[in-house]
């Protein structure tokens, strides 16, 4: 796996947090999601108090915010699958070949995105997503993903298993439909070289964990 040139020049900080541990950063992430998903991508998503927030933004959720020099440039939400989660609750029709998991060793990833101009930062988020899975002893990461994301995951060495065929899951403001697939990323017991390289990216940024998902220390490269 080769890093994009911009990966070597940006100064990233990653923060894992909850609504309770950092409500101010949570609101920043919700505002970022509003700009990215609603205003730029045109997704029809619920707005609460002026920002994009839904019923799964609750005490069961953990968040990852990726910052570049203090500015949020990417994020994702993580919810253990023994709690109610977006894919299973809102899109049950997407799981026709394999059932959604209902277990603590599966984690749903949702609201995954990076700011315009930070395309290479998505690799950083994928590395943090994988690190979270390993440190939580998760057997799989569950998600609904557009087909372009599925292809990117496969390209960087993360295999995927579909729960069913692609379906239209929503529409943009201009009427364009959003085609996505539900599935999981199985977490291998033995990490192949490409995934070890992906994990190393988490050591190349400052990582602050307010949820203790990654342990009790403040880690940095």
End-to-end CA distance of the chain, in Å?
20
- The answer to whether position 6 is within a domain reads no
Residue 83 DSSP label: S
Model confidence pLDDT, tens digit, residues 141-160:
999 998 888 888 989 989 99
Cα distances (angstroms) measured from residue 206 to each of 199, 201, 210:
14, 10, 13
pLDDT recorded at residue 171: 74
Residue 50 covered by a domain: yes
Strand, helix or coil for residue 211: coil
CATH code of residue 163: 3.40.630.30
The answer to the question of residue 217 being in a domain is: no
Please write the tens of the pLDDT for every residue from 168-199.
887 777 777 888 999 999 999 888 999 999 99
| Greatest distance between any 2 Cα atoms in the chain | 47
Number of domains in the chain: 1
**Residue pair 52/38 in contact by the 8 Å Cβ criterion:** yes
Q: What is the pLDDT of residues 78-136, one digit of tens each?
A: 999 999 999 999 999 999 999 999 999 999 999 999 999 998 899 999 999 999 999 89
Answer whether residue 101 is part of any domain.
yes
Structure pTM? 0.89
pLDDT at 35 over 70: yes
Contacts of 74 (CB under 8 A, 6+ apart): 65, 66, 113, 114, 115, 118, 121, 122, 124, 125
The rounded mean pLDDT for the chain is: 89
Q: Virtual CA dihedral for 62, 27, 38, 185, nearest 10 degrees? A: -10
Half-sphere exposure of 183 (CA within 13 A, CB side): 22
Does any domain span residue 145?
A: yes
Domain of 45 in residue numbering reads as 11-209
């Amino acid at each position: 796996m080769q890093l994009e040139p911009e990966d070597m020049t940006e100064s990233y900080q990653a923060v894992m947090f909850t609504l309770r541990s950092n409500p101010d950063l949570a609101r920043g992430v919700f505002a970022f999601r509003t700009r990215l998903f609603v205003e730029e991508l045109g997704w029809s998503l619920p707005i609460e108090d002026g920002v994009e927030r839904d019923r799964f933004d609750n005490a069961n959720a953990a968040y990852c915010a990726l910052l570049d020099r203090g500015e949020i440039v990417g994020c994702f939400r993580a919810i253990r699958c023994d709690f109610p989660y977006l894919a299973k609750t809102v899109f049950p029709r997407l799981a026709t070949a394999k059932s959604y998991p209902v277990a603590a060793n599966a984690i749903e990833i949702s609201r995954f995105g990076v700011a315009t101009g930070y395309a290479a930062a998505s690799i950083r988020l994928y590395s943090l997503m994988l690190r979270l899975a390993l440190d939580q002893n998760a057997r799989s990461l569950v998600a609904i993903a557009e087909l372009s994301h599925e292809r990117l995951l496969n390209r960087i060495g993360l295999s995927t298993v579909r729960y069913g065929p692609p379906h239209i899951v929503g529409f943009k403001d201009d009427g364009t439909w959003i085609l996505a697939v539900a599935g999981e990323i199985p977490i291998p017991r033995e990490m192949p070289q490409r995934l070890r390289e992906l994990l190393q990216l988490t050591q190349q940024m400052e990582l602050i964990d307010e949820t203790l998902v990654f342990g009790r220390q403040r880690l940095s490269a």
